[in-house]
Amino acid sequence: MMDKKVRELLNQQINKEFYSAYLYLEFSNYFEDRGLNGFANWYYVQAQEERDHAMLFYRYLQNNNEKVELDAIAKPDKALDCDMTVLKAGLEHEEYVTSLINDIYAAAYNVKDFRTMQFLDWFVKEQGEEETNANDLITKMELFGSDPKSLYMLNSELAARVYTAPSLVL
């Protein structure tokens, strides 16, 4: 039987991942309204990833005969007043999610829940990639965002992103 605190944190993470999907859909809407369909696509794909992350936690709990408890998903409350604000909010959010994953990992470590630690290893790696991607977007925007031709090229680059489902086996 899974430790109560670990189970609670895993259940909470399902909600946090679905919130992340909502947040990134909000970012996608922002960029769609700005006519930056490549940026909109990038965040739309990001929302799909977050949704699947939630489902991985969901399935992990079920596969371990633990009850899944779904909560209401809060509406994103970020003030999106410029492109850079959105990108920085994305990085801030990924850093927050990293802290949540680390908290679950620490709780599992404390009770020697090696199965959950192994499950979380993929998410630890994934969060490193997520933070790098968010940082890269900020860097590119700082370098190219003020030049319309460069912004067009960056937007085109982001439009090419396609969704690939995670290959984590539970």
* Residue spans per domain, the chain: 4-159
Q: Minimal CA–CA distance to 46: which of 152, 161, 124?
A: 161
- Residue 20 is which amino acid? S
Helices (H), the chain: 4-33, 37-63, 83-110, 114-144, 148-159
Give the pLDDT confidence of 42-96 residue by residue, as tens digits. Answer: 999 999 999 999 999 999 999 999 999 999 999 998 899 999 999 999 999 999 9
CA distances from 29 to 32, 61, 78, 94 (A): 5, 32, 13, 19
% of residues, the chain, pLDDT over 70: 98
- pTM > 0.85: yes or no: yes
Architecture of domain 4-159: Up-down Bundle (1.20)
pLDDT of residue 168: 62
pLDDT band at 169 (very low <50, low <70, confident <90, very high): low
Average pLDDT taken over every residue of the chain: 95
Cα(11)–Cα(44) distance, rounded to whole angstroms? 24
Give ∠ CA 18-138-97 in degrees, rounded to 5: 30
% of residues, the chain, pLDDT over 90: 91
